[in-house]
């Protein structure tokens, strides 16, 4: 049975305060009455999240936290006490972010990027803002071109650091950003490179063969939604004009125009494109 994670357990025996669940090793844990459905009976399997209650006893719940142990993401500060800050992670009992795991002073309402891990001595999940200790090494399953979930954390001199799939460290270069961004922004991204240092280079727009189809479809829809079926940008327009109007880089814009022109869907010009 893994504390701080989702477990598949079997209903074993009812009690006045709930029903006891059992794992493959025979370890029992209580699922309190408030989480017991009317049709649950001994022998049924169910997925539950296991953590410790206010008296540090392991307990099972059917609720799901925003993050479980081994994941990295953003949580909101609900209060600050003598031992640290407390975070809303979607469960009845808030998650502790100890002072030793903080990198700056916090106050209620702050939104912070944290890793959630298990204190092996106390068996209590805790949060840490010291993310570098908890990022995982990318596996061979991650390849350039894969679509991933991205949460931006902080700006750097060359772009934005980010969390990828709640597990990996990534970087979005400044020249790949064509939208308003801020810490905590969660978007879809695409891996452009798996680096030797374990970090992932990320793009916020599709790329490669599939990407051009996506950009072409996006540009076609903009033209179709335009009152006169045209847009006042073309091959001679500046990159800033193209980004402001279409939300894509000039290179992606030109490739999308070429794609639509080959399909005989548009008429391109130096400063305007129109539906054919």
Question: In CATH terms, are 72-133 and 208-275 the same topology?
Answer: no
Confidence band of 66 (pLDDT split at 50, 70, 90): very high
Domain layout of the chain by residue ranges: 5-61, 72-133, 147-203, 208-275
Q: What is the distance in angstroms between the CA of the first residue and the CA of the last residue of the chain?
A: 63
Confidence (pLDDT) at 16: 94
- 144: burial class by Cβ within 10 Å (0-12, 13-18, 19+)? middle
Residue 251: predicted pLDDT: 85
Quick check: 210 pLDDT over 70?
no
CATH of the domain spanning 147-203: 2.40.50.140
Q: What is d(CA 114, CA 118) in angstroms, rounded to the nearest whole number?
A: 13
What proportion of the chain, given as a percentage, has pLDDT over 70? 97
Q: Answer yes or no: is pLDDT of 208 > 60.
A: no
* Contact residues for 129 (Cβ-Cβ < 8 A; gap 6+): 97, 101, 102, 103, 104, 112, 113, 114
Does domain 5-61 match CATH 3.40.1010.10? no
> Within 10 Å of residue 1's Cβ, how many Cβ atoms?
17
Residues sharing a CB contact under 8 Å with residue 230, sequence separation 6 or more, in sequence order: 223, 272, 273, 274, 275
The Cα 215–Cα 253 span in angstroms is 7
Q: What percent of the chain has pLDDT over 90?
A: 68
C-beta separation of 202 from 150 below 8 A: yes
12-21, 174-183, 265-274: the lowest-pLDDT one = 174-183
Quote the mean pLDDT of the chain. Answer: 91
CATH code for 72-133?
2.40.50.140
Residue 114 in this model has a pLDDT that exceeds 70:
yes
Over residues 32-52, mean pLDDT: 94
Contact criterion met (CB below 8 Å) for 114 and 162: no
What CA–CA distance (Å, rounded) separates 150 from 170?
8
**Chain centroid to CA 208:** 23
69-95 pLDDT per residue, tens: 999 999 999 999 999 999 999 999 999
Instruction: Give me the pLDDT at residue 57, please.
Output: 86
Q: Work out the average pLDDT over 142-169.
A: 94
Predicted confidence band of residue 179 (pLDDT cuts 50, 70, 90): confident
CATH 3.40.50.880: does it fit domain 208-275? no
Q: Which residue has the higher pLDDT, 200 or 53?
A: 200
214 vs 96: which has the higher pLDDT: 96
Q: Helix axis angle, 250-262 relative to 208-225, nearest 10°?
A: 80
Average pLDDT of the segment spanning 205-224: 74
121 CB-near residues (< 8 Å, 6+ apart): none
User: What is the rounded distance in angstroms from the CA atom of residue 80 to the CA atom of residue 97?
Assistant: 9
Under 8 Å between Cβ of 148 and 191: yes
Kindly indicate the confidence band of residue 209, based on its pLDDT and cuts at 50, 70 and 90.
Answer: low
- HSE-CB for 180 with a 13 A CA cutoff: 0
Q: So what's the pLDDT on residue 78? A: 98
Radius of gyration of the chain measured on its C-alpha atoms: 25
Residue 81 or 210, more confident: 81
pLDDT at 212 over 90: no
What's the rounded mean pLDDT across residues 230-259?
A: 89
Query: Would the pLDDT of 211 be above 60?
Result: no
Distance separating alpha carbons of residues 259 and 245, to the nearest angstrom? 19
CA 95 to CA 51: how far, in whole Å?
10
Predicted local distance difference test score (pLDDT) of residue 215: 80
Average pLDDT over residues 94-118: 97
pLDDT of residue 139: 81
């Amino acid at each position: 049975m893994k504390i701080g994670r989702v477990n598949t357990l079997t209903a074993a025996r009812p009690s006045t305060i709930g029903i006891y669940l059992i794992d493959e090793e025979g370890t029992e844990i209580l699922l309190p009455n408030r989480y017991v459905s009317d049709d649950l009976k001994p022998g049924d399997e169910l997925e539950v999240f296991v953590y410790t209650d206010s008296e540090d006893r392991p307990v099972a719940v059917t609720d799901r936290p925003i993050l479980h142990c081994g994941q990295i993401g953003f949580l909101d500060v609900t209060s600050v006490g003598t031992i640290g800050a407390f975070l809303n992670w979607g469960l009845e009992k808030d998650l502790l972010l100890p002072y030793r795991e903080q990198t700056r002073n916090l106050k209620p309402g702050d939104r912070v990027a944290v890793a959630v891990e298990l204190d092996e001595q106390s068996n209590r999940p805790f949060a840490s803002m010291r993310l570098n200790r908890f990022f995982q090494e990318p596996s061979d399953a991650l390849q350039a071109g894969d679509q991933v979930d991205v949460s931006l954390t902080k700006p750097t001199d060359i772009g934005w650091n980010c969390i990828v799939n709640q597990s990996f460290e990534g970087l979005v270069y400044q020249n790949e950003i064509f939208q308003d961004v801020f810490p905590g922004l969660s978007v879809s991204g695409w891996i452009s490179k798996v680096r030797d240092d374990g970090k992932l280079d990320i793009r916020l727009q599709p790329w490669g063969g599939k990407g051009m189809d996506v950009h072409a479809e996006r540009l076609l829809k903009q033209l179709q939604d335009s009152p006169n079926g045209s847009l006042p940008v073309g091959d001679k327009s500046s990159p800033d004009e193209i980004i402001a109007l279409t939300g894509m880089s000039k290179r992606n814009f030109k490739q999308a125009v070429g794609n639509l022109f080959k399909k005989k869907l548009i008429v391109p010009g130096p400063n305007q494109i129109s539906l054919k």
